[in-house]
Amino acid sequence: MKKSIVVIEDESDILEVLKYNLEREGYRVKTCRDGESGLRVVRETNPDLVLLDLMLPSVDGIEVCRRLREDAVTRSLPVIMLTAKGEESDIVLGLGVGADDYIIKPFSTSELTARIRAVLRRTQQSTEESGRDRIERGGLVIDIARHQVTADGERVSFTATELRLLHFLASHPDRVFTRDLLLGRAIGEHAYVGDRNIDVHIRAIRKKLGPYRELIETIRGVGYRFLEESS
Ligand code: CA
């Protein structure tokens, strides 16, 4: 399967060139022009890597990276910063908030793709070695490090918010959580307005879980819990 990359860059000329060249190299590419929509697209699409310009309108690249690292779902998502020459202090800042690598503009396509391949290889290795953050319940496997859920071996695709919610519930089996608590702890302060309805997410998650839907139990008037054993 093609690897997917989200490119966040406000200069449209650079954005077009990046998209064209990366697609030619066999990547699926989504583009965004500011930090806020970049974060949203990353949450919606769970890409394999993010190319992140540091100088962005509204939410800048450093802040985008910081927010990605604060979130369990995107914590290990590879991020390569794009920086202008002479912005060394920004590079230090970016690496400090957890970016994996950086590349200085202007750069050649071959330089960029070599860097992307290296970062993807490195993060793949560390993911395989870690193996934690993986929860199994019967034939259901929730692997937050790989942003992946499988039911009886079949991959099920979740949005970042759904995945975070499912992982949070499954990490605390048999514990009942209120909607407010789930909102605060599972979805977090970075919830967008559309993310705030827990019931809608739970409904979507159950539908996708198919035969495992009953693992999430509704506690009437209180909230939800994830069962220790499937019945
Ligand atoms: Ca810029």
Residues 201-224 have pLDDT tens digits of 999 999 999 999 999 999 877 789
DSSP characters for the chain?
---EEEEE-S-HHHHHHHHHHHHHTT-EEEEESSHHHHHHHHHHH--SEEEEESS-SSS-HHHHHHHHHHSTTTTT--EEEEEETT-HHHHHHHHHTT--EEEEES--HHHHHHHHHHHHHHHHHHHHHH--SEEEETTEEEETTTTEEEETTEEE---HHHHHHHHHHHHSTT--EEHHHIIIIII-TT--GGG--HHHHHHHHHHHHGGGGGGEEEETTTEEEE-SS--
CA of 34 to the centre of ligand 1 (A): 9
**27-43 average pLDDT score:** 96
Distance 23 CA to ligand 1 centre (A): 21
pLDDT in tens, 108-159: 999 999 999 988 887 776 555 443 578 888 899 999 888 899 999 999 999 8
Contact 151, 210 (CB under 8 A): yes
* Ligand 1 centroid from CA 11, angstroms: 6
Near ion ligand 1, which residues have CB within 5 Å? 10, 53, 55
The verdict on pTM exceeding 0.95 is no
pLDDT single digits (tens) 61-87: 999 999 999 988 898 899 999 988 777
Q: Up-side HSE of residue 231: CA atoms within 13 Å toward CB?
A: 7
Q: What is the pLDDT of residue 17?
A: 94
Q: Give the pLDDT of residue 126.
A: 58
- Domain 4-128 annotated CATH 3.40.50.2300: yes
- For CATH 3.40.50.2300, the residue range(s) in the chain are 4-128
Determine the pLDDT at residue 131. 39
Question: Which residues in the chain are classed under CATH 1.10.10.10?
Answer: 131-226
Report the mean per-residue pLDDT for the chain: 87
Q: Is the pLDDT of residue 97 over 70?
A: yes
What's the gap in Å between 190 CA and the centre of ligand 1? 23
Q: CATH assignment of 131-226, given 3.40.640.10, 1.10.357.10, 1.10.10.10, 1.10.150.120?
A: 1.10.10.10
Mean pLDDT of 37-64: 94
Residue 205 CA to ligand 1 centre (angstroms): 37
* Ligand 1 center–CA 56 separation, angstroms: 5
The average pLDDT across 170-195 equals 75
Residue 93 has pLDDT above 90, yes or no: no
pLDDT of residue 152: 94
Percent of the chain scoring above 90 in pLDDT: 52
